[in-house]
Amino acid sequence: MKLKLFLYAFAAMSLFGALANGQSLAITNARIVTVSGSVIEKGTVVVRDGLILTIGADAKTPADAQVIDATGLTVYPGFIDALSSAGLQARTTTPAPGGQGGGQQAAQQAAAQAAPSNSNYGFGIRPEVSAVDDLRGGDTQFDAIRNAGFTSAVTVGRTGIFNGRSAIINLAGDSVSAMLIKEPYAEHISFTTVAGYPGSLLGTFSALRQMLLDARRLEDWQKAYAANPKGMKRPDDDKSLEALIPLLNREMPVVFNANTENEIVRALDLAKEFNLKAIIAGGQEAGKVAERLKSQNVPVLLSLNFPKRTAAANPEADPENLSTLRFRAEVPKTAARLSQAGVKFAFQSGGLTAMNDFFVNAGKSVENGLTKDAAIRAMTLSSAEILDVSDRLGSIETGKIANLTIVKNDVFATDRFVPYTVVDGKLFEQKEPVRAPVGGRGPGGQRGGGANPGAAAPAAAMPAVANVAGTYNITIDVPGQVVSGTLVLTQQGDVINGTMTTQLGVTQIRNGRAFPDGFAFAAAVEFGGATIDIAVKATVTGNILNGTIDSPQGAVPITGTKLP
Amino acid sequence: MKRILNLTVTASLVIAFGVIAKAQSGGNVLIKNATVMTAAKGTLENTDILVTNGKIAKIGKNIAAPANAKVIDATGKYVSPGIIDAHSHSMLDAINEGSLAVTSMVRTRDVIDPKDVAIYRALAGGVTSALLLHGSANPIGGQSTTVKFKWGRPADEFPIEGAPPGIKFALGENVKRSNFTPQAGQTPRYPRTRMGTMEVLRDAFRRAKDYKQSLDDFKAGKTKVPPRRDLELEPLVEVLEGKRLVHCHGYRSDEHLNLMLLADEFGFRIATLQHALEAYKIAPEVAKRGTGASIFADSWSYKLEAYDSIPYNGYILWKNGVLVSINSDSDERMRRLNLDAAKMEKYGGVPEEEALKMITLNPAKQLGIDKRTGSIEQGKDGDILIWNVHPFSPYSHVEMTLIEGDVYFDRAKDIANREVLAKEREALEKLDMNKAPGAGGTPPRIPAERRIADRDEADRGDNR
């Protein structure tokens, strides 16, 4: 009966698919890397209704299918970015008024006033915050990341100690609900600080510990009250604490942003103390604690944002610490070390702004001892396994979600190009740009793929970019302090250059680009003895600048006014 | 240019050495024919020390070397117990949680960095154990950690097993935030006066007593809902029960006296007065309570509330029977505490062994680890220093630092290793990721000479 119904539904859907045009797709003459099985040197992948229908050297092409001749191309399962902020709008910062009272109670009262609804916690310490609430539908927002080869990603904000609950999404879809694969996926925690308490790393651990203890007590109290409320004070329901209960019960993983050995050890200690289902994100020194990761069965979402020196050469400067020099040199070896030690890991972008570096750095991991197969797996099936979605993503198998990445040339080589991606069965095409003779932009740049399969890519009429040149007085709202300074921009076409001056020093901007409504650039600042890569994106309306600064430590708002 | 080159070499060698010095726990070693300053039973000439499985097994003459022991000939050299620094902020990734007046819930143990190069430098100066304290930004700071400097070992091997837990209190200028201007839009944190500081302390202990009562009531079945486990008040209950040592930062003796009176009121003992640069004024009151004083050898009048400090502070305290230790509160001064002890001999004439105790056995007693370390006695840990000359000589330096019989610093090996490290640095600097960007780039780091070495006023807005 069930089978019959299923077949019936299937037939109806197929019919609908055919009528709806383009719901069936065949990629022929392709080299197929299934990841779960062996490589098919020349074969066909058929996709229907958003799912993979058949694969094989002699898989039949349905009569109604749109055919992509992939001669000379390789089909991979759609690549997964195991941690990103894809599709998220920057959250507005509303720091709680600092806890300056005589005790913790005063601080909590202040936090309670600042927090809406039934949470007694302030900005940055609210685990119930969910990435899904900040997502919007639409394909074009993901053009750049999809053109680099990604079809799905874990996405979550990066502010506060609790970054909040992440979602696993497909990188296309008309609505948020259509994009979602799994939500909520995990709670994400950063060892950082907030305005007021905790205002230092010391307090961060104590605050986490107290909240987890309070959440455990709340659950017990709720149960006792549900069983017999008579004569018992009712539990003080707090949605921030309630959001921690699934963590304590190992129903939801906890992703710790921990990059250095110290951070990873601290995360592992905390996970052990509260029996959390932990995952390490960042993990660039995870190779040094591989044995412990293995014994605690903790996987790693390994950042491919490899560190490099950003400080200018200066004969008067201190030499860099040997430990810093070693750290940078060791990072490309981490993947191989984890692989050898049997620690599960998946690659993630780690805040990379140029997504092509993801593959360049995955390639460096291969040069440093990781097998190519393991590298591919770390962006496909291993990721899906860690994310607990390997029943629907991560390999080219019948019945899985039709996410495919079709690559020209070696996937780790610099001439790698992604002419097609398939997301939920929908084909996206990217035309290879004509290379400029000198200094041309690399493949996978800003040019979006047509959402309309088969149709010629729309003539890329370059929209007029805003004139953003000038001097701005800027304010950066770092939790706990407000940093002010000056931003000086010069502009030539859509290329911008200039400097940003704050109390942290003068910073030369890099990769500056102007857009129709604003600009973006990257820079590196020295803070607390470390170099931090930041990505600035802002809109300019009249003389008002509004935007965000994204860094591995989180995103903070930047505002400013252009001087006349 | 030469200066820079030197800097490079020195910086690299200290950072890297620990990786090479592979330590195992519990070494076997025989130190031969040394002048042994025991810090307990006088100085012994031409004496051997045998350490077995990390513990001092035998002290005497002509001890035969067991087969498995490493033999060190210390003829013509001085041997002393490892130095213990009762006030340090080394190896902490954060020092102050200054957001609240009471932060007894925070633990320095959570943020220790076993790779802080200050550890290796301290070993080169003979420090083997230290009390890692929270800063002095608030009346009740965080929980302390008592560690041995086992450089090269993972973080969890640093804390000394069985050492009584501690907590930092503070009084005076730092607590009142006298020298800190609130940022725009920030309300100044209470307390702002010395009387407010006392109120915060009294209030905290009253809350702790109430908390204890609520736990007892629940246990006795008087209440239905289990009380919330309160990480802020839990350690204060331990203080009231005498299970946690209070180490209190302060300069003015009136404040320290007030604190001791408050402790009398609540029925506990203050373990140490930290800094206490004018504690000579209240020496009998300190001695009577069995409270220790952990002081600087100098820093006389270095700030307003230290105005009445005098060179003879240590001597007067000792003469009155106070347990005195000399601490560093600084990564830099930590490396020459032996000379600070020598100053006690100079100003007032504290006897040599008593002066040595002020950096060894006395701090061990103050931290409650004197059963294990602090002097060279049979049965204690093999925490031993070998000096080229008498440690109170300005020409002295540590030749070897042992913790539990394992060598953690060896001057000869260090010198030999400098070339290796210089070569490694040269190779690393040639790698792409370590090259300076061709154009632009961020401003370089501030040269070391202009950095702040003293972390006493550690709350300078950064966490380091």
Residues from chain B that touch A107, judged by Cβ atoms under 8 A, are 99-100
Q: Are A366 and A357 spatial neighbours (Cβ–Cβ below 8 Å)?
A: no
Q: Which residue out of A191, A200, A478 would a mutagenesis test of the B interface target, given it has the greatest number of B Cβ atoms within 10 Å?
A: A200
Q: Which residue out of B100, B115, B434 would a mutagenesis test of the A interface target, given it has the greatest number of A Cβ atoms within 10 Å?
A: B100
Residues from chain A that touch B187, judged by Cβ atoms under 8 A, are 97-98, 100
Q: Under an 8 A CB cutoff, do A319 and B447 touch?
A: no
Q: So what's the pLDDT on residue A510? A: 80
CA distance B357 to B323: 10
Give CA torsion, residues A326, A332, A335, A341, to 10 deg. -40
Q: Are A285 and A217 spatial neighbours (Cβ–Cβ below 8 Å)?
A: no
Q: What are the sequence ranges of the domains in chain A?
A: 1-78+129-150+167-180+391-435+444-451, 82-126+151-166+181-386, 470-562
Q: Are A80 and A355 spatial neighbours (Cβ–Cβ below 8 Å)?
A: no
CATH number for the domain running over A470-562: 2.40.128.120
Neighbours of A211 (CB within 10 A): 20
Taking the CA of residue A241 and the nearest CA in chain B, the distance in Å comes to 13
Give CA torsion, residues A398, A399, A405, A407, to 10 deg. 10
Q: So what's the pLDDT on residue A92? A: 40
Q: Which residue of A has its CA nearest to B223?
A: A232
Taking the CA of residue A496 and the nearest CA in chain B, the distance in Å comes to 14
Q: So what's the pLDDT on residue A438? A: 46
In terms of DSSP bridges, do strands A518-527 and A544-551 run parallel, antiparallel, or are they unpaired? Answer: unpaired
Taking residues A537-549, what's their average pLDDT? 83
Taking the CA of residue A319 and the nearest CA in chain B, the distance in Å comes to 6
Taking the CA of residue B104 and the nearest CA in chain A, the distance in Å comes to 9
Is the confidence at residue A334, as pLDDT, over 80?
yes
List, for residues A30-55, the tens digit of each pLDDT value.
Answer: 999 999 999 999 999 999 999 999 99
Taking the CA of residue B355 and the nearest CA in chain A, the distance in Å comes to 35
**DSSP codes, A396-465:** --TTSB--EEEEES-TTSTT-EEEEEEETTEEEE-PPPPPPTTTPPPSSSSPPPBSSTTSPPPP---PPP
Closest CB to B444: pick one of A220, A311, A525: A311
Taking the CA of residue A479 and the nearest CA in chain B, the distance in Å comes to 12
Is the confidence at residue A311, as pLDDT, over 70?
yes
Is the confidence at residue A125, as pLDDT, over 90?
yes
The ipTM, to two decimals, is 0.91
Q: Under an 8 A CB cutoff, do B100 and A104 touch?
A: yes
- Considering the four listed CATH numbers 3.40.640.10, 3.40.50.720, 2.40.320.10, 3.20.20.140, the one that applies to the domain covering A82-126+151-166+181-386 is 3.20.20.140
Show the 3-state SS of B208-242: HHHHHHHHHHHHCCCCCCCCCCCCCCHHHHHHHCC
CA distance B112 to B132: 9
CA distance B33 to B27: 19
Q: So what's the pLDDT on residue B21? A: 41
Residues from chain A that touch B4, judged by Cβ atoms under 8 A, are 315, 319
CA distance A205 to A521: 34
List, for residues A552-561, the tens digit of each pLDDT value.
Answer: 667 778 888 8
Beta bridge partners of A558: A476, A547
Q: Which residue of B has its CA nearest to A310?
A: B441
List, for residues A367-408, the tens digit of each pLDDT value.
Answer: 999 999 999 999 999 999 999 999 999 999 999 999 999 999
CA distance A156 to A168: 9
Task: List % helix, strand, coil for chain B (3-state, nearest 5).
Answer: 35, 20, 45
Least confident of A196-210, A414-428, A431-445, B439-453: A431-445
CA distance A77 to A392: 11
Q: Which residue of A has its CA nearest to B98?
A: A199
The amino acid occupying position A436 is A
Q: Tell me the pLDDT of chain A averaged across its residues.
A: 85
Architecture of domain B83-372: Alpha-Beta Barrel (3.20)
| Token pair listed for B248 | 């209190």
Q: Are B70 and B111 spatial neighbours (Cβ–Cβ below 8 Å)?
A: no
Nearest to A308 by CA among B220, B436, B213: B436
In this prediction, residue A529 has a pLDDT band, given cuts at 50, 70 and 90, of low
CATH number for the domain running over A1-78+129-150+167-180+391-435+444-451: 2.30.40.10
Architecture of domain B2-81+407-426: Roll (2.30)
CA distance A490 to A507: 14
> Cα dist. A3→A9, A10, A54, B226, B243 in Å?
10, 10, 19, 54, 70
Q: Under an 8 A CB cutoff, do A100 and B190 touch?
A: yes
Q: So what's the pLDDT on residue A10? A: 43
Q: Which residue has the tokens 């097609």?
A: A420
> Residue A373's Cα: distance from chain center in Å?
23
Q: Under an 8 A CB cutoff, do B443 and A311 touch?
A: yes
More confident residue, B136 or A442: B136
Q: So what's the pLDDT on residue B195? A: 95
Q: Under an 8 A CB cutoff, do B12 and A199 touch?
A: no
pLDDT in tens, chain B (464 residues): 344 434 333 444 444 333 334 444 589 999 999 999 999 999 999 999 999 999 999 999 999 999 999 999 999 999 999 999 999 999 999 999 999 999 999 999 999 999 999 999 999 999 999 999 999 999 999 999 999 999 999 999 999 999 999 999 999 999 998 877 777 777 789 999 999 999 999 999 999 999 999 999 999 999 988 899 999 999 999 999 999 999 999 999 999 999 999 999 999 999 999 999 999 999 999 999 999 999 999 998 889 999 999 999 999 999 999 999 999 999 999 999 999 999 999 999 999 999 999 999 999 999 999 999 999 999 999 999 999 999 999 999 999 999 999 999 999 999 999 999 999 999 999 999 999 988 777 777 666 555 555 444 444 433 22
Q: Under an 8 A CB cutoff, do B11 and A322 touch?
A: yes
Q: Are A181 and A400 spatial neighbours (Cβ–Cβ below 8 Å)?
A: no
Q: Under an 8 A CB cutoff, do A312 and B98 touch?
A: no
